[in-house]
Homo-oligomer: A and B are copies of this chain.
């Protein structure tokens, strides 16, 4: 085993310069050759050559209507008071060629009082119209009236489409219409996606602790397909140097680009850099982008891979799913775009205001996932989780804000450019919810998506965080379940304190059970809070709604915090509490039913807690909010909530308070 290779981050621009220079040297930094495909296979392909018209369209003077071909000169005197009878006529259907002597068409509906062998006809007697020998008209025609002149659409030899054009349905029609049966399009880049890692298991496997579900290859292959390439997904290769080398060598024979997933870091089983070195040139190991760092860029050498093909670029893709997907966007997309003759990074952009301060490391180009909402007149971008392992941060992202190198980050209120994953129209139709998370919000989002073009996007920052976000103008509503221990009332006093100047409608959403999460079968027979005296507990952090509730309730029964074993052990989410119970660290914890269900634990319901939606009056009355309010009052939605364990729909949709 050779000495390990150090990760040595270099700036993105320098990494690109090295990589593209190497591709240039290898004659790989240019569009791929064209191939001829039939037009019914050409949708979404990119023209490799300009398309010139082979024939004109129409290729003859054609009637533009059903009617009679005439000479315009013969009609000059016709008027309402002076109907003229024409005998040099020829019946033509739309598209029929004009006789050589004709230069205009009288539409059927203007050719009146026809006769065929003494039989009077009317407009609409179409079966007989072709047989008529003369027509009468009451208005004059200018030359070429109701005629599609030769070349009206396309003139033989003219440019119909340029090269490097992405073919849409109407383009195919135009290409066929000017005489072609096929079109020369760029060959689709072939990309090999090779997942490596002994800990990886395929999607859908039954997992045991330590198994990692391999889905980066799924995402990368789908990205390649989206960007116009064809991907081959290889089976998972274990962390074995020789096996990886063999697989890369095999892939090099039949692909234009190789994506080697994971093993690109510097851990004990990270072989990618050594594989690249042994089969070619390691150009870059580590790029100062975030997320993404341990990117490898290299060029395989045909003498080392022993394939007849020329040099093949290879990219070592980091293992974290967000890093992997963004490495695809940052490195793979521009290569495929270049090979297809297209411009890279054609995402639409939107100017927005960043909602909070963001620190970013000076040395890195950061790609920050954000949600974007149009809240009132402001377009607000809110950062999502920056964890490289949180694939849902990409799923939920409306776009990416790029924080350049040598910037220390952003101040709240700074203007930013968002590279959008959604259309601006989708952004306009998004209801932004920030606050405490609840399963019923997911259900609400589901119902709204089914019934309207609106979308409910929710971010979980806790009840208080949600109210603060409302105050900052970052959201249209906040989910909140804050009990005032002095009054026993929910939410009102908090809103008065944190949103003193904003008129708020407080609407009851659901009552939900808070209770004790206990192991399956409830071995310690825990039934009430009083039982905490002979069981170990796991607590929520100070300030959490559930913690407030606990303190309020133990106060009522005169139980002191000191008497609860584990009161000082704090977790930050319902699920973390459940996990502590599942692992045996604690006998029980206070939380909601769904957290217990998630880990297949039992649940002892103790209290009903009210979960409200706080909605600024301005948005409550807006068009945007209507589908949400309608859904909350929809009996089908209520039925669905009722079926969830631990929920109660009494009061759903009631206005609990109108504040200010």
Interface residues of A (CB under 8 A from B): 1, 4, 6, 39-40, 43, 50, 55-61, 64, 66, 91, 93-97, 100, 108, 124-127, 129-130, 148-165, 168-174, 176-177, 179-182, 199, 202-205, 207, 209-210, 212-216, 218-223, 225-226, 233, 265-270, 319-321, 325, 328, 341, 343, 346-349, 387, 389-392, 394-395, 421, 423-426, 439, 442-443, 445-446, 449-450, 452-453, 573, 575-576, 579, 583, 594-595, 597-599
CB-CB nearest in chain B for A451: B164
* Interchain CB contact under 8 A, B395 and A160: yes
In the assembled complex, the Cα of A599 lies from the Cα of B347 at a distance in Å of 43
**Docked complex Cα distance between A40 and B220 (Å):** 11
Instruction: Provide the residues of chain B in CB contact with A425, threshold 8 Å.
Output: 346-349
CB-nearest residue of chain B relative to A171?
Answer: B395
CA distance A218 to B180 in the complex (A): 13
Chain B residue at smallest Cβ distance from A348 = B423
Docked-complex contact B170 and A219, CB < 8 angstroms = yes
Q: Which residues of the other chain, B, contact A449 by a CB distance below 8 angstroms? A: 162-165
Closest Cβ neighbor of A576 among chain B residues: B149
Task: Report 13 cross-chain contacts, Cβ distance below 8 Å, ordered by A residue.
Answer: A4-B126, A39-B203, A58-B389, A91-B268, A108-B267, A150-B579, A151-B579, A162-B446, A164-B449, A170-B394, A177-B321, A180-B204, A181-B204
A174 touching B575, Cβ below 8 Å: no
Q: Contacts A60-B209, A425-B348, A425-B349: A392 and B174 contacting too (C-beta < 8 A)? A: yes
Contact, CB under 8 Å: B203 / A181? yes
* A549 CB, nearest partner CB in chain B, Å: 21
A165 nearest CB neighbor, chain B only: B449
Closest chain B residue to A454 by CB distance? B343
B contact residues around A265 at 8 Å (CB): 66, 94
Of A64, A97, A210, chain B has the most CB atoms within 10 Å of the CB of A210
Taken together as a complex, chains A and B put the C-alpha atoms of A64 and B221 apart, in Å, by 25
Known contacts A97-B210, A157-B597, A203-B39; A148/B442 CB under 8 A: no
- 14 A-B pairs besides A108-B267, A160-B392 with CB distance below 8 A are A39-B218, A93-B267, A129-B268, A149-B579, A151-B573, A153-B387, A158-B439, A163-B450, A168-B226, A169-B220, A172-B215, A173-B216, A176-B218, A181-B205
With A222-B172, A392-B174: A152-B387 Cβ-Cβ less than 8 Å: yes
Q: How far is the CA of A223 from the CA of B127 in the complex (A)?
A: 35
Taking a contact as CB atoms closer than 8 A, the residue among B43, B162, B199 that contacts A226 in the complex is B43
A347: chain B residues within 8 A (beta carbon): 425
Let me know if B218 and A348 touch, CB within 8 A. Answer: no
A270 to chain B, nearest CB (A): 8
B residues less than 8 Å from A125 (CB atoms) = 4
Cα A115 to Cα B69 in complex, Å, equals 100
B159, A215: Cβ atoms under 8 Å? no
| Residues of B with C-beta under 8 A to A394 | 170, 173-174
**Most chain B CB neighbours (cut-off 10 Å) among A94, A127, A165, A347:** A94
Give complex CA distance A222, B38 in Å: 13
In the complex with contacts A173-B216, A389-B64, A158-B598 CB distance below 8 A: yes
CB-contact partner of A96 in B148, B207, B210, B325, under 8 A: B210
- Closest chain B residue, CB of each to CB of A349: B425
Task: Judge whether A161 and B212 touch: CB under 8 Å.
Answer: no
Q: Give Cα distance in the complex from A395 to B175, angstroms.
A: 10
Q: Which single member of B1, B179, B395 contacts A170 (CB below 8 Å)?
A: B395
Chain B residues with Cβ below 8 Å from A209 are: 59-60, 97
Chain B contacts for A108, CB-based, 8 A: 267
CA A348 – CA B209 in complex, angstroms?
A: 46
Docked Cα-Cα span, A205 to B168, in Å, equals: 22
A325 to B177, CA, bound (A): 14
Nearest residue, chain B, Cβ from A600: B156
Task: Output the least CB separation between A601 and chain B (Å).
Answer: 11
Q: Are A124 and B4 in contact (CB under 8 A)?
A: yes
**Interface core residue of A153, A207, A452 (most chain B CB under 10 Å):** A153
Contact B172 A219 (CB under 8 A): yes
Neighbouring B residues of A169 by C-beta, 8 Å: 218-220, 222-223, 226, 325, 328
Complex CA–CA separation, A91 to B267 (angstroms): 11
* A215 B177 Cβ-Cβ under 8 A: yes
Q: Which residues on the B side are within 8 Å of A91 (C-beta)?
A: 268
Given the complex, which residues of B lie within 8 Å of A43, measured CB to CB? 222, 225-226
Report Cα–Cα, A43/B224, bound state, in Å: 11
B266 touching A218, Cβ below 8 Å: no
* Neighbouring B residues of A50 by C-beta, 8 Å: 442, 446
Judge whether A172 and B94 touch: CB under 8 Å: no
Cα(A443)–Cα(B157), bound, Å: 12
Specify which chain B residues have a CB less than 8 angstroms from the CB of A205 in the assembled complex. Answer: 181
Q: Are A391 and B170 in contact (CB under 8 A)?
A: yes
Q: Which residues of B contact A179 (CB under 8 A)?
A: 204, 207, 213
Complex Cα spacing A346 to B428, Å: 12
By the criterion CB–CB under 8 Å, are A55 and B392 in contact?
no
The interface residues of chain B lying within 8 Å CB-to-CB of A60 are 209-210
Chain B, Cβ-Cβ closest to A266: B126
Q: Which residues of B contact A57 (CB under 8 A)?
A: 213, 391
CA distance in complex: A56, B180 (Å): 54
CB neighbours (8 Å) of A445 from chain B are 159, 162
Q: How far is the CA of A58 from the CA of B387 in the complex (A)?
A: 13
A196 CA / B94 CA spacing, docked (Å): 14
Complex Cα distance A353/B425, Å? 20
A455 nearest CB neighbor, chain B only: B162
Contact A173 B321, beta carbon cutoff 8 Å: yes
Are A218 and B172 touching (Cβ within 8 A)? Answer: yes
- A390: chain B residues at CB < 8 Å are 152-153
| Complex Cα spacing A366 to B209, Å | 62
Neighbouring B residues of A127 by C-beta, 8 Å: 1, 4, 268
* CB-based nearest B residue for A452: B343
Tell me the minimal C-beta distance from A232 to chain B in angstroms: 11
Chain B residues, Cβ within 8 Å of A439 = 157-159
**Roughly how many angstroms separate A173 CA and B195 CA in the complex, as a whole number?**
14
- Is there contact, CB below 8 Å, between B575 and A155? yes
Contact between B269 and A152, CB atoms less than 8 A apart = no
The smallest C-beta distance from A47 to any residue of chain B, in angstroms, reads 10
